[in-house]
Structure formats: structure tokens, C-alpha cells
Amino acid sequence: MVPAVVTLRAMNILVTGGAGFIGSHVCERLLQEGHAVWAYDDLNDFYDPQIKRGALRQLQAMARPFTFVFGDLTDRPAVDELFAGASFDQVIHLAARAGVRPSLQEPALYQRVNVEGTVNVLEAARRRGVKKITIASSSSVYGVNSKVPFSETDPIFNAISPYAASKLADEALGHVYHHVYGMDIAMLRFFTVYGPRQRPDLAIHKFAKLIAAGKPIPVFGDGSTARDYTYVTDTVDGVIACTRQEFGFEIFNLGESQTVTLARLIELLEQHLGRKAIIDRQPVQPGDVPITYADITKARERLGYRPGVKIDEGIPRFVEWFRRQAAAG
């Protein structure tokens, strides 16, 4: 069935996690398209909150209809107050505790923020009559998947981290709210997003900083693990495409549909930073998967999703931004 197309009028759109890496890029695109945007974020200390504050300043400098609301997803009265304070046409729910390895250290926190927080958003939307929600999931739900590339129809009962388990729960909740309440839910499985404003704990940004400083980079395993690195503007294209159609309930992979080994990634960073990496070889970490690789056939057909930034182009773009940030202090 061909999904219904939503009229492209100016809308009021809530972006949870709107000060974060992907969220700030989504807010920027929505503002450019003429929508009024609310960003909801708790500016937590998972990484330096000043990075998010910097992203907010950039959004506010656009002089478009943008509102930042400070708040915690797990604070249900605060979420209810957010929805009572504005009439939202759509919600893009990106806020979450992210990362496989940190989730192994604080599994209860990940369940509380990612699962309970998502319930709070869905419930507030339901009570206020907001029918359309786009929700961030993750390629981590595929776990150790013997079949590649990963397809939305693959069985997903092999999660190997609390983070992956929390995203599986979010997908199930999305289906419940569609089935019971008729809400229009799109679940987006992101594949290793990178680019300007990337979180400093993620491999590309972390490696760039260490290589530039002449410090060792921790490499877990022999460098053969592979990821489907997706440039942030391509991910944003997929998110925005979901705001323009109605699906009922659908899950989409948003990846580049190419794999890059860790060893190749390091080579590219070395090439564009002009420095050799000092390798600190470490054992494979619990929770890590050997490969992620998106089958994007469904997203191409249903969303018109056409990722265009390959890793050979994306890494120099990232390094250019990284150098500007370093020069700015």
C-alpha cells in the first residue's frame, strides 16, 4: 500500500533530544523548511553539556520560530506540561541514553530513560491528540545477525546489550500505540551516524581528537569489525521524509548501505588529518557486534531515501569541521 502524503504546510513540531547531535541537525532542517520547532532536552552530562549549548546557540541564531525547553523525559509531569504548553502537529522522538558500552555499566538508567521516557512521550501525545510520531531506534536491535545486509523483516531476538534491549522495547511500544490508539508511528533504525557536531564519545570524533593530539587510539579487536557509517545529512533526509507521509506503523533502516572496516576508517582519518595513528590494541568488548549493514530497499521505495555521502567524502567533511572547532578553542 502506498502511504498517504501529508500536506506540506508549516507545522508545530516537537523534537525530543533536540540539542543533541542528530536532534540539532533535524531541528535545523525543520527550521529551514519553515516549521516552528520545539526542542526538549535535559542537557545531561553523558558528554560535555556545553557542546549541546553550542548547538542550541546555532539554532537560536537562525532567527526562526524555535523554542528550547529544558526537561527530563522520565519526569512525567514535565512531559505533560510540555505538551499542554503548545499544540504539536508531530513529534520526532530522538531523546535517549545512547551507546552500547555505557549501557552495560548502567542498565537500569537506560531502561528508565529509553523505555519509560518513550512511554511518557507516547502517553502525552495520545492524551493531546498528536497522532504522528517518528521514533529513533537503532541498528543495535539486530544483535549478532548472521544474515547481511540487515533487513527490517529479519528476526530481532538476539539483542546483546541493554541499549539494544531498550530500543527493541521502544519498537514494541510504538506498535502497541499504533494498534490500540491508531497513532501513526515510524520507527527508524539508525546505522552509526557521523558528521559535524558528532558526540565526542563516538569512534570517529574520539579517534580524530586522539590522532591529532598524537595520543594512542584504543582499537578493540583486529580492526576487521565493520560498520555502516551514515553521514548525518543522509540520516536527516530519512527523518524528514517520515514527516511527509503517513504509514500506520512501519520500521525503516536508515543507513548508507555500505560497510567500512575499522582499519579502513583509521586509514581515512590518518590521511585527512595528516598524522599516523598510534594503535592501542585491546580485546573485543562485550556488547559489540562484528558488523552492521543496512538493507535500505524499503526506505528507498517508501521514503524516497537516497543516501549520497560515501565515507570517502564524509570523513574529509568531518575533519574540516573538526579542525574549525579545534581552531575556535
Query: Is the bond into 149 cis (omega within 30 degrees of 0)?
Result: yes
Does the annotation mark 163 as catalytic?
yes
* Nine-digit cell string for 77: 509531569
Given a contact cutoff of 8 angstroms between Cβ atoms, the answer to whether 44 and 54 are in contact is no
| SS3 labels along 232-260 | HHHHHHHHHHHHCEECCEEEEEECCCCCE
CA atoms 147, 152, 157, 162: torsion sign: positive
Which segments within 120-183 are labelled E, that is strand?
132-138
Tell me phi and psi for residue 76, to 5 degrees.
-60, -45
State the Cα–Cα distance between residues 227 and 152, nearest whole angstrom. Answer: 17
Three-state DSSP state, 69: strand
Q: Which of 40, 163, 194, 231 is catalytic?
A: 163
CA dihedral 98, 102, 106, 109 (to 10 degrees): -10
Amino acid symbol at 196: P
Q: Which residues are known catalytic residues?
A: 163
